[in-house]
Structure 1
Amino acid sequence: MRVLVTGASGFIGHHLVPALVAAGHDVRALVRESSRYDPPAGVEVVEGDLLEPASLAGVFADVDAAYYLVHSMQAGEAFAERDRMAAHHFADAAAGAGVSRVIYLSGLGGEDDELSEHLRSRREVESVLRDGGYELTVLRAAIVVGAGSTGFEVVRQLAARLPVMVTPKWVRTPCQPIAVADVVTYLAGVLDAPETAGEVYEIGGPEVLTYQEMMERTAALMGRRLHVVPVPVLSPTLSTYWIDLVTDAPRSVVHPLVHGLKNPVVADDDAIREHVTVELTPFDDAVRAALAAEDDA
């Protein structure tokens, strides 16, 4: 099957492209700058920008299925508008080229009006992609644990740099982190499970943890001891300023993520496991793998 991966040079795409090649697919990787992307052997690399529809000419030609792994949070406050525009351009190009399947990695969270701007944007992208002339499969995940994941990087840096943390009450919000290897297995697996076309699935690791538990366990695996003191007066906005002081994660990405920490992100439906078999990675093992990968980088 000929498969297009948008966002091939990003965190998830970096892991997914070689997995698709190993599964025997003919992979085309869409990147904005080919000189900054080192593809696996046999991967066709094409340049294009989803914000510039003219640059997509021929990109979707002869493609059977396409992955949408793009987000624009690094654009700052305009990220939702840019994500909306990119999704429209992708949907138009894919439908126009006759692509039959699209697979999108979205974010876990409820369906109510209390979602953060980040999660609302993810839902809006789902809606835009769903209007294309193809069958859409959506996978929704919480924090992905792996080297290069911004969400996990914030957890790691906080665990590494502070012996004591005074934090807002969101540190006790439930979350279901998942190892990047498991996300990739699900993403690649639904491609070979035609019955998943047109469906939405929630994916998560084997444990539901609070952010406090994730930070404490990550610190322990780094040989540190972390004391977390939740207080009710530190708002999400103040939290972003505090995290800016402690970590070097990009503000444009961290701020929307922090505002979303108030939302429980737990996979309440395991229907995906009827179609794709994954031996889920325990949180501690996922962290060990991420730390080892960072040491090797």
Structure 2
Amino acid sequence: MEVVRRLRPPERYAFAVSVRPLLVPKHDPCGRLGEDGLWLAMRTPAGPASLHLARAAGELIATGHGPGAEWAADRADAIAGLRDDPGDLPTLAARHPLVARLAKTFSGVRLPATGQVFPRLLRAVLEQKVTGKEAHRSYRAVCRHFGEPAPGPAGLLLPPDPAVVAATAYWEFHPFGVEQRRTETLLRAARVADRLERCADAAEATTRMTALPGIGPWTAAETVRYAYGDPDAVSVGDFHIPNTVAWALAGEPRGTDARMLELLEPFRGHRGRVCGLLALGGIQAPKFGPRMPLRSFARF
């Protein structure tokens, strides 16, 4: 089955920058972004699907493949970030010159909303307390192990089925570089994935997720930011972001979560978006001390 939908992006819409966060860097078994556009595999309520988004003559052509093609095509504008409305961001951004400049520079960037919680939650759990390289390596291994071929010609894998993940013993994740603590958190989330997918909004999903042992504000924010397109989701507990915010907004080389939230308060409603703008602008606090080492739990 194939379903095609034509979308009209806003002026200055930055397609690649907007959708890139939906994929892990370098290689994602469940998606691809290239000259031919974005390919994304998904498990929809109607069945497996893959979605292709491509620019063409000022339009965005969305093509859904597979049993879930209609669901994917109907959701395409949200996945592309076209339902995201920055609203009063320019007014709020004017409260700080750097934020104002970045908001203008990246005014074409929109926040995607996939409408799917578990795939993003899986990635967020794997990213807990490890380096990005470690997490992404584990994510690829997990997807290759649990993934099934997705519909369409892109050769993608479907994201892992929560029911299959939930039925897996924790030690089977060790070869993927995932230790018992993160694995058990992931298994708990997989067991209630259906309930998580039925949440009405980011607030309800955050409440349900953080009620699970092993899932805190950081993991919930990393999930709802792209599952629901929540522009206010702040990753409290992040290793870098408090320092980045403190440096960018107050010239302080180090910051706590409390200080970060204090500095972001004038931008409430768009606090997560402001953090994203700082990242897009390449803003980083001064670095001190050794880097976090890379580890391999598969060898433990």
| TM-score under structure 1 length normalisation | 0.27
Q: Considering fraction of residues, name the structure with more strand.
A: 1
| TM-score under structure 2 length normalisation | 0.27
With CA pairs under 8 Å and 6+ residues apart, which has the higher RCO, 1 or 2?
A: 1
